[in-house]
């Protein structure tokens, strides 16, 4: 027998037990750091990924369950958008609409003293098309004109209203009316506004 083994066996029991416990501890530490720790980290990582996947799966299932509602809401919004765009004439129609506004004023008994289109103001997918008007007629005729404009199938706003210089001719009171009518047209290819130039930059 190996002398070192014989020497070990002749040692007291508590020393032999201590050595065996020490060797077992070394084996356990080697197993933990050499194999188990890496496996444990991988298990924790997989568990975290599983939680994320399950969360995403639950969210997708919720969306799938509500998909008919989302689709119906999308179609409703699309219909509203189409209806709104139908009230915005394109560039080909805008001149006819402006001419109709002038004709409408004359048909209500107003004299059109000035009809001056102002520069368009592009705002994304639509552009404001303002026209400066100077009219002359009775207050009643002006009210009828404004009412008729409000009934147009296209959107036309009236603002910057000023009335003055009333005169009486053959028992009929007439006055001058300055206002701005603004309609809107659909912009096929919206152009981004250069804010630098707009602010006076070069």
The 10s digit of each residue's pLDDT in 140-168 is 888 998 898 888 877 888 899 998 878 88
**Residue 195 within a domain:** no
Domain identity same for 179 and 99? yes
The 10s digit of each residue's pLDDT in 45-95 is 788 888 888 888 888 888 888 888 878 887 877 776 666 555 555 555 667
- For residues 198 and 154, is the Cβ–Cβ distance under 8 A? no
C-alpha span between 62 and 44 (Å, rounded): 27
Domain identity same for 104 and 162? yes
**Residue 194 within a domain:** no
List, in sequence order, the alpha helices (H) in the chain.
Answer: 3-9, 13-31, 37-65, 67-86, 91-107, 139-150, 195-198
What is the four-CA torsion angle of 105, 110, 113, 117, rounded to 10 degrees?
-10
Which residue range forms the structural domain that includes residue 97?
91-186
Q: What is the pTM of this model?
A: 0.49
How large is the greatest C-alpha to C-alpha distance in the chain, in angstroms?
146
Number of domains in the chain: 2
Q: How does 87-111 read in b/e, with b if 16+ C-beta sit within 10 Å?
A: ebbeeeebeebbebbbebbeebebe
The first and second tokens of residue 80, run together, are 């509203």
């Amino acid at each position: 027998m190996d002398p070192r083994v014989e020497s070990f066996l002749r040692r007291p029991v508590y020393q032999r037990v201590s050595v065996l416990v020490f060797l077992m501890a070394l084996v356990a530490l080697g197993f933990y750091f050499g194999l188990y720790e890496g496996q444990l980290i991988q298990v924790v990582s997989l568990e975290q990924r599983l939680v994320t996947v399950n969360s995403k799966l639950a969210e997708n299932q919720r969306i799938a369950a509500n998909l008919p509602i989302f689709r119906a809401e999308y179609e409703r919004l699309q219909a509203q958008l189409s209806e709104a765009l139908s009230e915005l004439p394109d560039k080909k129609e805008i001149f006819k609409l402006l001419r109709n506004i002038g004709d409408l004023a004359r048909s209500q008994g107003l004299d059109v003293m000035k009809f001056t289109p102002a520069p368009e103001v592009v705002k994304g997918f639509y552009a404001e098309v303002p026209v400066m008007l100077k009219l002359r007629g009775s207050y009643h005729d002006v009210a009828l004109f404004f009412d008729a404009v409000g009934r147009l199938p296209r959107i036309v706003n009236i603002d910057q209203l000023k009335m003055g210089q009333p005169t009486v001719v053959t028992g009929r009171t007439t006055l001058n009316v300055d206002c701005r009518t603004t309609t809107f047209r659909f912009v096929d290819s919206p152009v981004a506004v250069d804010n630098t130039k707009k602010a006076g930059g070069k």
